């Protein structure tokens, strides 16, 4: 019974049905005509395309579809099936939804939260997000299940070369909004039921977007949701306690956080092919290490003092002066993040290449393979340094600059 359920949820035709429901029209193309092949039930679709005669293609051979799907040259077999986005509203909505699990979202949401909302909640959410993502990314390279194959058309090229089980986008859709909800519900006075509605809508949008774009099967999404939900129940109380210990211990960062962050990157599960998963995981882990290090420095240097008030705190209205300071903090901070990334990436990449005795331009244009150890070492090293520095600047350097400019949040150094 369970085998049948798993096969059904893994079936590419189920992904096609979801796409068709939201206006992605599939067509069967040959030299003389085009005929629609996707109907509302499996039997009619199977009559148009005999799946038994075709293999399920892995992601790295089917990830070159254009967003309109009107042309595709990834393989001879796949040229027989075309598709067209008939409803642009759903397409752009789900592209936006999938961006909630992208690097651009992390790079904007996390700094904005620290500078303008709550640093104590931010530290906990980032640590939960990092652990959940590391486990999810590791499982991908251990399980090694390909993304949906034929006849599914991928409406997005990014991440197509990675394995698909479990969906880390689904895990992000659980870990970030629900950890924010759980860490703020007793800390601030606000209608929790509306927070729950936002978290559920956030998670649903991300999950449906991954199926709609053809990047995950329904089984990938379900596995990601279940895994992340189980991890969240364990991590929420543990991370809350660790945060207090981390801030107050003089040796936690140099002896625990930094060494562990390096070790988990070095001993990341080995895949059978090169994928960007390891580099992305390095970025996530280093951001977390940098953020925790910056917060630890603030506390150890005496900048942070516990608030005299007891939670739950009342949410203050946004005055014109506060809004102006928010815009200044956000604008200056993001300019600093961009500058940090550009400078740190250039310097660290050149430095590591020099240590290995390799030409940086030659190495940058060399092939991405598991045998190219020099490129893997350089990539992980420069990402760890670059994004770790961005995380450190986010919680230590930039807030101190805001303090000098008299535009910092009054409660920033009381959020313990």
Decide if pLDDT at 80 tops 80: no
> 399 near 115, Cβ under 8 Å?
yes
More confident residue, 353 or 75: 353
Q: Tell me how far apart the alpha carbons of residues 92 and 293 are, in angstroms, rounded to a whole number.
A: 38
Q: Tell me how far apart the alpha carbons of residues 308 and 260 are, in angstroms, rounded to a whole number.
A: 34
Decide if pLDDT at 392 tops 50: yes
Q: Can 244 be counted among the known catalytic residues?
A: no
The rounded mean pLDDT for the chain is 83
Residues 31-69: tens digit of each pLDDT: 334 444 444 444 444 444 443 333 333 333 333 333 445
**At residue 29, what are phi and psi to the nearest 5 degrees?**
-115, 140
> Which pLDDT score, from 0 to 100, does residue 339 have?
94
pTM of the model: 0.84
Of 36-45, 321-330, 340-349, give the lowest mean pLDDT range: 36-45
> Which pLDDT score, from 0 to 100, does residue 141 have?
86
Q: Tell me how far apart the alpha carbons of residues 317 and 319 are, in angstroms, rounded to a whole number.
A: 6
Q: Per the residue annotation, which of 54, 84, 169, 365 is the catalytic one? A: 169
Q: Tell me how far apart the alpha carbons of residues 283 and 303 are, in angstroms, rounded to a whole number.
A: 28
Query: Within 13 Å of residue 380, how many CA atoms lie on the same side as its CB?
Result: 19
In this prediction, residues 71-97 reach a mean pLDDT of 69
More confident residue, 10 or 391: 391
Q: Which of 228, 203, 236 is nearest to 127 (CA)?
A: 236
**Which residues fall within 8 angstroms of residue 30, CB to CB, at 6 or more apart?**
80
| In the chain, domain spans | 2-87, 93-414
Instruction: Give the confidence band of 84 by pLDDT, cuts at 50, 70, 90.
Output: confident
Q: Tell me how far apart the alpha carbons of residues 227 and 171 are, in angstroms, rounded to a whole number.
A: 7
% of the chain with per-residue pLDDT over 90: 46
Decide if pLDDT at 394 tops 60: yes
Residues 146-193: tens digit of each pLDDT: 888 777 778 777 777 788 889 999 999 999 999 999 999 989 989 999
> What Rg value do the Cα atoms of the chain yield, rounded?
23
Residues 109-136: tens digit of each pLDDT: 999 999 999 999 999 999 999 999 999 9
> Which pLDDT score, from 0 to 100, does residue 121 have?
94
Instruction: Give the confidence band of 365 by pLDDT, cuts at 50, 70, 90.
Output: confident
Q: Which of 63, 45, 64, 66 is nearest to 54 (CA)?
A: 45
The strand order across the sheet containing 34-36 reads 34-36, 24-29, 81-85
Q: Can 365 be counted among the known catalytic residues?
A: no
Instruction: Give the confidence band of 398 by pLDDT, cuts at 50, 70, 90.
Output: very high
DSSP H/E element including 26: strand 24-29
Q: Per the residue annotation, which of 54, 216, 244, 365 is the catalytic one? A: 216
Q: Which of 36, 41, 35 is nearest to 13 (CA)?
A: 41
> Which pLDDT score, from 0 to 100, does residue 68 have?
42
Residues 217-256: tens digit of each pLDDT: 889 999 999 999 999 999 999 999 999 999 999 999 999 9
> Which pLDDT score, from 0 to 100, does residue 300 have?
92
In this prediction, residues 324-330 reach a mean pLDDT of 94
DSSP secondary structure, 347-389, as one string: HHHHHHHHHHT--HHHHHTS---TT-HHHHHHHHHHHHHHHHH
> Which pLDDT score, from 0 to 100, does residue 30 have?
52
């Amino acid at each position: 019974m369970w085998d049948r359920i798993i096969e059904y949820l893994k079936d590419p035709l189920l992904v096609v049905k979801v796409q068709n429901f939201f206006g992605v029209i599939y067509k069967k193309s040959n030299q003389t005509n085009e005929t629609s092949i996707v109907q509302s039930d499996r039997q009619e679709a199977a009559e148009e395309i005999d799946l038994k005669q075709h293999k399920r293609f892995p992601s790295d051979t089917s990830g070159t579809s254009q967003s309109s799907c009107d042309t595709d040259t990834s393989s001879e077999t796949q040229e027989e099936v075309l598709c067209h986005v008939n409803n642009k509203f759903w397409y752009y909505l789900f592209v936006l939804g999938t961006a909630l699990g992208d690097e651009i979202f992390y790079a904007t949401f996390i700094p904005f939260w620290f500078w303008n909302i709550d640093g104590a909640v931010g530290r906990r959410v980032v640590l939960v997000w990092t652990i959940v993502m590391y486990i999810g990314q590791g499982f991908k390279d251990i399980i090694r299940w390909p993304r949906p194959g034929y006849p599914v058309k991928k409406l997005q090229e990014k991440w197509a070369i990675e394995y698909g089980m479990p969906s880390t986008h689904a895990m992000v859709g659980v870990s970030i909004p629900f950890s924010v909800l759980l860490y703020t519900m007793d800390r601030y006075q606000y209608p929790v039921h509306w927070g729950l509605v936002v978290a559920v809508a956030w998670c649903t949008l991300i999950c449906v977007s991954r199926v709609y774009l053809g990047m995950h099967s329904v089984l990938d999404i379900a596995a990601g949701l279940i895994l992340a939900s189980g991890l969240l129940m364990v991590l929420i109380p543990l991370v809350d306690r660790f945060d207090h210990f981390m801030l107050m211990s003089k040796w936690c960062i140099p002896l625990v956080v930094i060494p562990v962050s390096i070790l988990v990157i070095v001993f990341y599960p080995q895949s059978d092919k090169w994928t960007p998963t390891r580099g992305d995981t390095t970025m996530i882990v280093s951001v977390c290490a940098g953020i925790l290090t910056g917060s630890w420095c603030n506390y150890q240097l005496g900048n942070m003092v516990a608030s005299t008030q007891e939670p739950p705190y009342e949410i203050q209205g946004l005055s014109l002066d506060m809004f102006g300071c928010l815009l200044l903090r956000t604008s200056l901070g993001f300019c600093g993040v961009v500058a940090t990334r550009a400078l740190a990436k250039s310097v660290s990449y050149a430095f590591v290449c020099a240590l290995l005795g390799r030409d940086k331009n030659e190495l940058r244009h060399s092939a991405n393979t598991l045998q190219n150890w020099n490129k893997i070492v350089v990539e992980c090293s420069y990402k760890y340094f670059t994004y770790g520095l961005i995380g450190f600047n986010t919680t230590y350097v930039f807030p101190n600059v805001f303090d000098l400019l008299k535009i910092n949040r009054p409660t920033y150094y009381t959020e313990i």
